[in-house]
Amino acid sequence: MTVTLMVLVVAAVFAGALMRSMFGFGEAIVSMPLLALLPIPLHTSVSLIGLAGLTVASLTVFCGWRHIERQVLIRLAAATVIGIPAGLALLYVTPSGVVTFGLGAFLIAYGGYCLIKKSLTATAERPLLHGRGWVLPFGFASGVLGSAYNMNGVPVVVYGTLRRWHPERFRGTLQAHFLISGVLVVAGHALGGLWSKESLILYGYSLPAILLAIALGSCFNKRIPAAKFDRYLYIIIMALGVLLLFPHSSSLSN
């Protein structure tokens, strides 16, 4: 691996960790498509971002532990465990081009949802999801997306938004879920044979960048109104999804 490629990998990990520390989520959504544009194996990217996400969660979960929705967290974790093998199976039985295409389509859909979610939830006086059972499919999706794409937080973000959680409860529960599901996902990656010498070396080189991103993100989060930046973040997510979607369209049609 060349020095230039290694620097680009570390930069992609740093960008994702910075987004995560600033907004509470978004690490894999930013880092995974950036890494997919580099000439490294998809499995290396998946295992690398899994380790990076677990590191960020371990260092940030203690800030909001008092506001965790514990019963919801337990049900989320149980459903996530069931979804992890399904995500690993998706990686092994689906060609990497199809997985990347699916990731691009998912990013476009998710970015579009985030752009309109404020108008959707603002018109609702009550939570849009009722009943405890709704947490199970979102937890299962978290396991699938976590082990396949390292996007275990996205379904929980959607669930918390539709449940209209208070911001402190939202952040606290989300970070706790990141920690629990991160441990499960990383363990699944290890048992599934996704770890490699290359991914561990890249993680070691990325660790200082992750720590720097956490420090900078905490500082920016306190000084810069996040509401002014989230719309741009979602637009960038959709743009990255488009970049991943169209280069593979011709190959999928063959």
Q: Which residue has the higher pLDDT, 140 or 57?
A: 140
Reading the block at residue 8, the tokens are: 């680009």
One-letter amino acid for residue 185 of the chain? V
Q: What is the pLDDT of residues 120-174, one digit of tens each?
A: 655 545 666 667 788 899 999 888 888 877 777 778 878 887 787 766 677 778 7
Under the banding of pLDDT at 50, 70 and 90, the label for residue 211 is very high
Q: Where are the domains of the chain?
A: 3-253
pLDDT given for residue 252 in this prediction: 39
Residue pair 127/162 in contact by the 8 Å Cβ criterion: yes
Residue pair 129/138 in contact by the 8 Å Cβ criterion: no
- For the chain, how many residues are written? 254
Q: Which residue has the higher pLDDT, 65 or 137?
A: 137
Q: Long-range pairs for 108-114 at CB < 8 Å and ≥24 separation?
A: 108/238, 108/241, 108/242, 108/245, 110/29, 110/154, 110/237, 111/234, 111/235, 111/237, 111/238, 111/241, 112/234, 112/238, 113/158, 114/230, 114/234, 114/237
Q: What is the pLDDT of residues 160-190, one digit of tens each?
A: 877 877 666 777 787 788 888 788 888 888 8
177: nearest Cα among 71, 92, 45, 98:
71
Q: Which residue has the higher pLDDT, 218 or 254?
A: 218
- pLDDT above 70 coverage of the chain, percent: 85
pTM flag (> 0.85)? no
Torsion of CA 16, 17, 19, 24, to 10 degrees: 130
177: nearest Cα among 47, 79, 34:
79
Q: Averaged over 206-228, what is the pLDDT?
A: 82
Whether 14 has a pLDDT exceeding 90, the answer reads: yes
